[in-house]
Chain A
Amino acid sequence: MEQLTAQLNEVLGMFGLALWNDAFVQVVATVLKFAVLAVALLQIPPVMVWLERRAPALMQRRRGPNRVGVSLGPIKLRLYGLTQSFADAVKLIFKEEVVPEGAHKAFYHIAPIFGVFPAFLIACAIPYGPPIDVFGYTIPLSIISVDVGFLFIFAISSLAVYGVTLAGYASNNKYSLLGSLRASAQMISYEIPLGLSLIPIVLIYGTLDLNKIVMGQENFWHWGIFTAPVSFVIFFVCMFAETNRAPFDLAEAESELVAGFHTEFNSAKFAAFFLSEYVAMFVLSALCATVFFGGWQNPFISNAALASFVVGILNAPLASFGIALGAASVTNIAALIGIGVLALKAGFFMWMYVWVRWTVPRFRYDQLMDLGWKFMLPLGLANVVGTAFVLAALKF
């Protein structure tokens, strides 16, 4: 065993690593964290599809899908229709794939990849909780932690346009092309106010690093929603436009464009576009929670205090088994609470997406562009200048 370790260290040494040194642990942790995150993100579309069917049913006083279930002998599981989503996923994957005639073959196959790749990459930049403590190694719970966090998110999300544009171009279908032109023009237009809305946050917390922005919101009254309310309004509106969701779903207006840029896509390729849309929604929801609602922090009580309280309760019955939870467990339980809190906050905004979809009717295209360029952009600029003046005045 020792010999094997020595040999492995020799190989790893060529890459500047050694078994169980700090750098090696971080590399392994990053791979593991990404695997866990990717699996977690794959669970979002089925649940959201279920929500998108059940929520309007709730609002329109009907039942919605509730029949599909799993039969395990005498036990029949229906789970309120949740299993319908899994039937859908199986259907999507096993459907015959039809490539339209006259399509640009290479782009047709690449477009879904261009759609999924940015969505997953941005999800890596969100801090999901305070650092955890595994065997004495401190591991941060965001996969990529660079000091240009915001810029990274905007840079990668600006690449999402290519998936949409290529899909429309490659399909050889006029509805696809119209849908993709609409979608990309909309995404480019609303990227600008979205970016402007976050500049006051950068000014107030004095950093581009998302981890530090979360730490700056430790006090409940320092949450972004209180320090930059106008920013929140702009961000919230742009969130819907950026993901092409109702009331800004001009890109796939069913009554005009069949299904927009993904009209000609089916089976797994359609599923990929579906996945990227829901992951993008989740990322923006999580970003909104991180920037304006304190990220993984609880209001009024710190995660660490809550965790030591939980450990205090758990320690009493565990003592009879001779187990005592130490400082590491407090850190890890605080991280778990953080993940849960962020998931709750992001989940609320995911629910808002569905809620708004079934409440507000679709905009006209010129109204959409007017709102973006003539209202959101000047408001965003005024917000940046105003915040800068207030901050400068407070320094005197």
Chain B
Amino acid sequence: MISYALFYLIAAFILLCSMMVVVSRNPVTSAIFLVTDLFFISALFAKMNAHFLAAIQILLYAGAIVVLFVFVIMLLNLKAEELKGARMTVPEIGVLIVSAIGFVVIAALLGADGATTGGDGRWTDEAITAAGGNTFAVAMRLFVNFVWPFELASVLILLAIVASVVIARKDSLVSSGVGSTAPAQGKGEKGKVAHGTR
């Protein structure tokens, strides 16, 4: 009973925050609602006994990624007035609220079993304790059962990081022209000086 009540309370907060992320006109407000949204999602994980996942969710998403979002937004210095054209009309807000409520009702009808609330899932409290604790169970899956896919995925992410750094660099190999003519090199150096003095 209390489990269901908690689930619907948290789910309502998640929906509310998600809606505010999209609806609010100030980008910083959106980002802050995204943080609260992620916080409540991790509360849902914690309710399903996935403590490890809940902690990682807050640590990585709320604590690191959205902080970067906030920094970028603040440095771009977007003001709410600049987005005046984006103001929602009353019918649009109405449609959003109605569809949100509709979604909650449908979810309540379809998902009113243990699979949604995590109450009667495979990983009960006893099952987790038997598996040696939350972190141990996750670690066994990641580093023993599925170690190769896991390592391959991490290499893939590393590739993406290196690629983004190469693309973002001003004097990248492509523009400075390895083995190209002298003017191109001079241009590259000039660009570098201008960047330095700025």
Which residue numbers of A lie inside 8 Å of B, CB to CB? 14-17, 104, 106-107, 110, 146-148, 151-152, 154-156, 158-159, 161-162, 165-166, 169, 177, 181, 184, 188, 191, 208-209
Contact = CB atoms under 8 A, between A and B. Distances in A.
Contact of B1 (A15, A152, A208): A15
Contacts of B56: 151, 155
Interface string B32-66: 10010001001000000001101111110011100
B74 A156 contact: no
A191 B35 CA distance: 18
A155 B59 contact: yes
Given A151-B55, A169-B74, A158 B134 contact: no
B70 to A, nearest CB: 6
A147 B58 contact: no
Contacts, number: 80
Contacts of B133: 147, 209
B79 to A, nearest CB: 11
11 contacts: A104-B26, A148-B134, A148-B135, A151-B56, A151-B59, A152-B51, A155-B57, A159-B58, A184-B67, A208-B135, A209-B133
Contact of B55 (A155, A166, A184): A155
A161 B69 CA distance: 13
B1 A14 contact: yes
A305 to B, nearest CB: 30
A15 B4 CA distance: 10
A156 B58 contact: yes
A147 B135 contact: yes
B28 interface: yes
Given A14-B1, A155-B58, A162-B32, A148 B52 contact: yes
B63 A159 contact: yes
A147 B49 CA distance: 11
Nearest to B129: A147
Given A155-B59, A159-B62, 10 more contacts: A15-B1, A104-B26, A151-B59, A152-B55, A155-B55, A158-B59, A158-B62, A158-B67, A165-B71, A208-B135
Nearest to A106: B29
Contacts of B193: none
Interface residues on B, range: 20 to 34
Given A16-B1, A16-B2, A151 B52 contact: yes
Nearest to B66: A162
Contacts of B26: 104
A198 B83 CA distance: 45
Which 6 A-B pairs give the minimum distances between C-beta atoms? A158-B63, A151-B55, A155-B58, A15-B2, A155-B59, A147-B133
Nearest to B56: A151
Contact of A147 (B1, B42, B51, B59): B51
A355 B62 CA distance: 34
A107 B28 contact: yes
A15 to B, nearest CB: 4
A209 B136 CA distance: 12
Contacts of B29: 106-107
Contact of B51 (A16, A148, A162): A148
Nearest to A180: B74
B55 A165 contact: no
B59 A169 contact: no
A222 B54 CA distance: 31
A110 B135 CA distance: 34
Interface string B1-36: 111000000000000000000000010110010010
Contact of A161 (B2, B3, B63): B63
Contacts of B70: 162, 165
Nearest to B39: A159
B2 A188 contact: no
A313 to B, nearest CB: 40
A165 B67 contact: yes
Contacts of A146: 51, 134
Interface string B109-135: 000000000000000000000000111
Nearest to A162: B35
A188 B64 contact: yes
A162 B39 CA distance: 13
B17 to A, nearest CB: 14
Contacts of A181: 71, 74
Interface in B122-160: 133-135
Nearest to B42: A155
A17 B135 CA distance: 29
A169 B29 CA distance: 11
B40 to A, nearest CB: 13
Contacts of B64: 158, 188
Contacts of A15: 1-2
A191 B55 CA distance: 15
A209 B64 CA distance: 23
B27 to A, nearest CB: 11
Given A15-B2, A147-B135, A151-B52, A166 B62 contact: no
Contacts of B59: 151, 154-155, 158
